[in-house]
Amino acid sequence: MKLGCIGDDFTGSSDLGNTLAKAGMRVVQYCGLPSSLAAPDVEAGIVSLKTRTVPADEAVRQSLEALNWLRDQGCSQFFFKYCSTFDSTSEGNIGPVAEALSDALGAGPVIFCPAFPATGRSIYQGHLFVHGRLLNESGMENHPLTPMRDADLRRVLASQTKKPVGHVAIGDVLAGHEAIRRAITREFEAGRPFIIVDAVSDAHLVEIGRAVADLPLVTGGSGIALGLPENFGCRPARLDRAEGFAPMASKAVALAGSVSRATCGQVEAHRRAGQPAYEIAAAEVLEKRVNAESLAEWLIEQEGVPLAYSSAGPETVLENQRRFGRDTVAQAIEQLFAETARILAERGVDIIISAGGETSGAIVSALEVEAFEIGPEIDPGVPALQVVGRSLRLALKSGNFGGQDFFIKAARILGANA
C-alpha cells in the first residue's frame, strides 16, 4: 500500500475513494479498523471511521489505531480526510486528530485544504466558500451537530489546536507547486506548522498535491487527493466508469437523514417527480409512533425508488432539539435508519441509497460492512459502492452533494431493476 487514508465519516471516505480511483489508484474503503492485512494490490487504503462528532479523545484514539494499521501496510504517506465544509466545533475534532497524527508521524508542516471547486467548495484568503457564499452563510450555520459560524478557517482551526496556524495565499498557489512548496516551508520555519492553503480551482488542487509529495501527513477534503496519485506514478483510469454497475434483481430504497439544503432540495424534487416519499418526524420516532419494522415494510411495498426522510428545515430541527435534546434526536433518527436498513437487507433489498454522513455511518455499521470496492461515479464526490464479498450495493451521499435527481440517478447507476 502506498497511500494510507483515515476518514472521519463514511460518506467522505467514499468521496475520497472516488477521487483516488478516478486518478488511477487501486482503492479499497475499509469500514472501521480492519482485522487483517490488505490485499497486496491495494495502492490506497481508506479506513473510514465515524469520528466526526464523537468526543475528541475517542476520535484521537480511533484515528491513531487506524494510523498504526496503515503503517503496518507499508504506506509512505498518510491523508486525514474530513468534510469539505470543515465540519467541527471549537472542541474538535479536526484539530485534535491532526495534532495526534502529526505528533505520531513527526510530520513537520501539515496542510489543511478542504477545497473542492468541482462541488462548489473554494478557499480564498483563508476563508471557505460554498457555491460562492461564505461558509457561515451557506446553510452550514444551521447544521444540527456542527454548526459552522465562521468562514475563516485560520480562526476555526486555531480554536481546536495548540499548534500555531499559518496560511498559503492564492498568490503562491497561482505560481505553481514549487512556489507552494516554498510557501509551506516559509510558514513552517516561521513557527506555524498547521497551514491553511487557498484553492479556487481543481487545477490548484493538483498543484498543491504535487507540492506536498514529500510530506508525511496531508489533511483536507477529497479534492486535495486529485494531485496525490501522480506522486506515486499512477495515472487516471481509462475505463469508462459512468455506465454504472450491471443490472441486478433488486429494487433500490433511499434513506435520507441530512438536513442540508442540497438534500432537502433533492427530497422535494423526488416527491415532485411522483416517487413515493415518507416523511419521518423526530417526535414520531421518540414517541414510538414509527418503528423500523413498519418503515421497512412500507418501503418494500412501494413502486419506483421509495424514499424515507427526516430532512426537516432548521426551525423544526431547533425546536426538536429544544424539546428532546440534540443528541437524543440525532441518535434516535440514526438508529431508526440503521435498523431499517438491516431489515431491508435481510428481506432481499440489495441496493440502499443513504443521504447524510451520520446516517450513512449508522447504516454501514448496522449492515456489518467490512469493505467497499469503489465503483462508477454517480455525481461529483459520490461513487457507487460494492460491498466486498456480498451482493449488497450502496451509495453514501454527503448531505451537501449531488444533483436534484440524485436518488433516481443513484438507483440507475447502482443497477436497480426497473
Parallel, antiparallel or unpaired: strands 194-197 and 110-113? parallel
Judge: domain 3-232, CATH 3.30.70.60.
no
Q: Which residues of the chain are in CATH 3.40.980.20 domains?
A: 252-413
Write down the pLDDT at residue 384: 95
What is the pairing mode between strands 44-48 and 27-31?
A: parallel
What's the grid cell of residue 324? 428532546
Report the C-alpha gap between 287 and 338 in whole angstroms.
18
Three-class SS string for the chain?
CCEEEEECCHHHHHHHHHHHHHCCCCEEEEECCCCCCCCCCCCEEEEECCCCCCCHHHHHHHHHHHHHHHHHCCCCEEEEECCCCCCCECCECHHHHHHHHHHHHCCCCEEEECCEHHHCEEEECCEEEECCEEHHHCCHHHCCCCCCCCCEHHHHHHCCCCCCEEEECHHHHHCCHHHHHHHHHHHHHCCCCEEEECECCHHHHHHHHHHCCCCCEEEECHHHHHHCHHHHCCCCCCCCCCCCCCCCCCCEEEEECCCCHHHHHHHHHHHHCCCCEEECCHHHHHCCCCCHHHHHHHHHHCCCCCEEECCCCHHHHHHHHHHHCHHHHHHHHHHHHHHHHHHHHHCCCCEEEEECHHHHHHHHHHCCCCEEEEEEEEECCEEEEEECCCCCEEEEECCCCCCCCHHHHHHHHCCCCC
Q: What is the pLDDT of residues 83-102, one digit of tens each?
A: 999 999 999 999 999 999 99
* Residue owning grid cell 438536513: 259
pLDDT tens digit sequence for 384-404: 999 999 999 999 998 888 999
Q: 213-228: per-residue pLDDT in tens?
A: 999 999 999 999 999 9
pLDDT given at position 260:
84
pLDDT tier at 75, thresholds 50, 70, 90? very high
Residue 226 neighbours by CB under 8 Å, 6+ apart: 19, 23, 202, 205, 206, 209
CATH 3.40.980.20 fits 252-413, yes or no: yes
Q: Which residues contact 75 (CB under 8 A, 6 or more apart)?
A: 1, 2, 3, 4, 45
Mean pLDDT (the chain) is: 93
- Lowest-confidence range among 73-82, 158-167, 239-248? 239-248
249's torsion region: left (phi>0), alpha (psi -120 to 50) or beta? beta
For every residue of 71-98, which 3-state class applies, written as one string? Answer: HHCCCCEEEEECCCCCCCECCECHHHHH
In which residue ranges of the chain is CATH 3.40.50.10840 found?
Answer: 3-232
pLDDT at 240 over 70: no
Distance CA 372, CA 385 (A): 6
pLDDT at position 161 is: 97
- Whether residue 239 is predicted with pLDDT greater than 50 in this model: the reply is no
pTM of the model: 0.85
- What is the tens place of the pLDDT at every residue in 400-412? 889 999 999 999 9
